[in-house]
A and B are shown apart, each in its own frame.
Chain A
Amino acid sequence: MNYKTETLSDFTIISDKFLKGSKLNIAFLPENLNEFEDSAKFIYSESTTDIKKAFRLNNISVDYLTCDKPLLRARKSADWFGPTFFIGFSMLAENSTLINISLNVLSNYLYDFFTGNAPSKIVKFEIVVESKKSKEFQKITYEGPVQGINELGVVIKQLKK
C-alpha cells in the first residue's frame, strides 16, 4: 500500500471560505492552507506549474484555489513532490471518468519526466476529496512509484458517500 487516507476535520472552514457555492471539479490546493487569512501568501509545490500545463495540453483545466499569483516552493530532492489536488463532490458524483483520465495524465507526465533517470524515483502528493457535498473531506497521501498512481482511481471513488 503506497497511500493512506484520513478524514480532514478542519477543512470545512476552508471550504466555506473558498469553495462555497462553487461546483469546482478539480483544483490545486496550497501547502499552507492553514494560513488562509491571506491567500496572496498561498504556496504551492513548484511541480504544480508543469502539471497544470500537462493537464492543459490534455484539455483539462485545473486552476489554483484562488486567482492570486502563486508562490512556488522548490525542494531540491531527487524525489518528486507533487501538488495537492482537490476533487470536488460534483466530479466525484457526476464525472468519475475524469478522475481516471486525470490520474492517467499525471502518471504519463511523470513517466516521461523520469525517463532517463535511474533508479525509479518516488513521487509524493496528496488529494483532498469532497466525499459528501460541503460536509466531509478525506485526504489521500500517496508516496510510491509512478506505476501505482492509477490504482488511486478506485480508492477515490470508494470515498463517495
Chain B
Amino acid sequence: MIIQFIEVKELLEEFNQIAERSQNIAIFTRDIELQKAELQTLSNFIEKSNSLKISNKDKYSEEELNLILFIIFSIDAVKSELEMVISLKDNKMDLAWSSLVHAQIQISIAATNHPFNKNTLNGYVLKLDRYEKLLFPKMMFASAGYLVKKTKCSICELEYEDCDHLKGKFYNGELCVREIHEAELEEVSLVENPANKLCRALSAIFDGKEVDPLTFTEKK
C-alpha cells in the first residue's frame, strides 16, 4: 500500500504509539484515574482521525481512507477494552460486558479490513476472548430467527442483493452495512453461542432467588 499524504503517515505513526501506550494502561492493576484520563486521549484521537477522513474525502485514495477507518475501529476497540476494565473496578458489570463485546466487534471489523496483514491482530483477538472466558460467567443469550424481505446497502443505497458491496468491508472510508428495512420474525431461541452477545439473559435463579446472571445480585 502506498501512502501519499504525509498527514496520513503521521496519523499511522501516532496510532501505533497510542495503541501501544493505551494497552499498557488497560492492564487491570493500573490506576483507575490514569485509565479514565486515557479514555479521553483515545476519544480525542478518534475524533481527530474522523475529521481528517471527512475533510479529505475527495483528496485521499480509497486505500488511505480505509486505512484511517481501520485506525478508528482499532482505537475504538482499545477504548472499549479500557472501559471494560474501568467498569469492572467500578462494579458496573453489565457495562463491563457490553464494553467487552463492543471491543470484540470493533476489532473483528478492523481485522477483516486490515490494510497490511490480516493476522496481525490475532493476539489481541485472543486476549479479548480470554477476558470473556476468565472474567465472565457462561451465559445464555436470546437469538432471533427471521426472514429478511427488504434490504438496502449503506454504501450505494441499492437493494443489498443487487450490488457488489459486502457487509463488514470498507469502501472509500465507510463501513458497508446491510440495512434491513423489512423482516418477518420467525422465532426467538435461547442459545449458548449467539451471533449477538449483547442479547444476554437478564435473570437466573440462584439460591431460590431471581438474580442477575452476571453478579448474582437479587433482582428488585
Contact = CB atoms under 8 A, between A and B. Distances in A.
A53 B166 contact: yes
Given A50-B167, A116-B107, A76 B126 contact: no
Given A76-B196, A77-B193, A49 B160 contact: yes
Contact of B125 (A57, A75, A117): A117
Contact of B195 (A49, A50, A78, A115): A78
Contact of A118 (B114, B129, B191): B129
A79 B166 CA distance: 19
Interface stretch (A21-29, A65-73, A145-153): A65-73
Contacts of B108: 115-117
B143 interface: yes
Interface residues of B, number: 38
Contacts of B112: 112-113, 115-116
A13 B15 CA distance: 60
A75 B189 CA distance: 10
Interface in B128-180: 128-129, 143-149, 160-161, 164-168, 178
A69 B195 CA distance: 26
Interface in B163-220: 164-168, 178, 183, 186, 191, 193-196, 199
A116 B186 contact: no
Contacts of A50: 166-167
Contact of A73 (B122, B145, B161, B193): B145
A49 B168 CA distance: 14
Contacts of B18: none
Q: What secondary structure prevails in chain A residues at the interface with B?
A: mixed
B161 A75 contact: no
B109 interface: yes
A43 interface: yes
A74 B189 CA distance: 13
A54 B122 CA distance: 24
A53 B129 contact: no
A72 B193 contact: no
Interface in A3-45: 43
B170 to A, nearest CB: 13
Given A43-B147, A117-B108, A49 B161 contact: yes
B109 A116 contact: yes
Given A53-B164, A71-B149, A77-B191, A115 B143 contact: no
Contact of A77 (B146, B147, B194): B194
Contacts of A72: 147-148
Interface of B: 107-112, 114, 118-119, 121-122, 125-126, 128-129, 143-149, 160-161, 164-168, 178, 183, 186, 191, 193-196, 199
20 contacts: A50-B167, A56-B164, A71-B149, A74-B146, A74-B147, A75-B143, A76-B144, A76-B145, A76-B195, A77-B194, A78-B193, A113-B168, A115-B108, A115-B111, A116-B109, A116-B110, A116-B111, A116-B112, A117-B125, A118-B126
CB-CB nearest 6 A-B residue pairs: A116-B111, A116-B108, A118-B129, A72-B148, A76-B195, A76-B143
Given A50-B167, A113-B168, 20 more contacts: A49-B160, A53-B165, A70-B161, A72-B148, A73-B186, A74-B144, A74-B147, A75-B145, A76-B144, A76-B194, A76-B195, A77-B143, A78-B193, A112-B112, A112-B118, A117-B108, A117-B125, A118-B122, A118-B125, A118-B128
